[in-house]
Structure 1
Amino acid sequence: MSWTHAALLAVLLALSLSQETDAAAVPDAKDTAKDSRGSLNSVFMQEADASDFFRRRTRRGVKSQDELDAEQRQVLLADQRKRQYHEENMKEHEHYAEEENDEQDERSRESTEQWRQFHNDGMYPPYDRQAV
């Protein structure tokens, strides 16, 4: 006998003496019939229930009024959320643009006032905005 045969025989002997071999062993035919029927009953439903389920849930199946109403409410709520989101963004953008314009007007007014003060040599009376 070669050393590979001896190693295989030793592994086989070790596996056969192990306690886990009973759990890994193939069960008897009568045990499988009991176990499989019990597990199949917990997984599968009766044929009549299944056909009724698929008849109610096909794509072409008519939906109940409650389902249609629920879907319509979801669509309306989604539209309302989108509308609110876009309104908030639009208001935020308008507020930002208004602030930018106000700041730009203030900078322009300040620079104009500085230019007038620098170029006023005293010969002319100062420019008064309220008089105009």
Structure 2
Amino acid sequence: MFLLALLTLLLALCWSPGADSVVVPSSTSSTSNRDVPGTLQRIFMKEEDASDFFRRRNRRATKSQDEISAEQRQVLAADERMREFHEEKRNEFESFAEEEHDEQDERSRESGEQWREFHYDGMNPPYE
């Protein structure tokens, strides 16, 4: 059944009047570039030029001293920025922890004073 429907669709597409009227325009850039002989010379290079290019730019090529120095400066600058960032975060955390500790001391002191005031029986001198 499926095969029959597929065959019918294929025949309908082949015999439809719109099938002959679909034409790709010949003025596209891809067809005009194929006709120009200079275009191929710009895309492709000679074999010795290509091997020379890859020989100069392979991954194992030694770097010049200027390139090494520039990379080292970038690494040092990144390390310095990271150190400053971590130092700032550490200072923020230390100040936060100190404030929390001070608040906890104040709360415990107040609760101790309240306990002493509540349990003071007048027989002993009050704590100060």
Counterpart residue number, 1:102: 102
Q: Tell me the CA shift for residue 86 of structure 1.
A: 1.4
CA distance in structure 1 between the partners assigned to 2:73 and 2:64 by the alignment: 14
Say which of 11, 21, 25 aligns to 2:18: 11
Structure 2 counterpart of 1:91, one-letter code? N
Q: Distance in 2 between matches of 1:21 and 1:117?
A: 99
Give the superposed CA RMSD: 2.8
Structure 2 spans left out of the alignment, 5+ residues: 1-10
1:11 corresponds to which letter in structure 2?
A: G
Whose relative contact order is higher, 1 or 2, with alpha carbons under 8 Å and at least 6 apart? 2
TM-score, with normalisation over the residues of structure 2?
A: 0.71
Q: How does 1:50-65 map to 2 (within 5 A)?
A: 50-65=50-65
Identity %: 54
Give deviations 1:25-62, integer Å, cap 9, x for gaps.
xx69xx84x42x33233334454543333222112211
TM-fit CA distance, 1:89: 1.6
Q: Structure 1 stretches of 5 or more lacking a match? A: none
With over 3 angstroms needed to count, the CA separation of the structure-2 counterparts of 1:60 and 1:122, relative to structure 1, is same
State the alpha-carbon separation in 1 of the partners of residues 44 and 99 from structure 2. 66
Say if 2:120 and 2:126, in contact at 8 Å, map to a contact too: yes
Q: When the two structures are superposed, what TM-score results if normalisation uses the length of structure 1?
A: 0.69
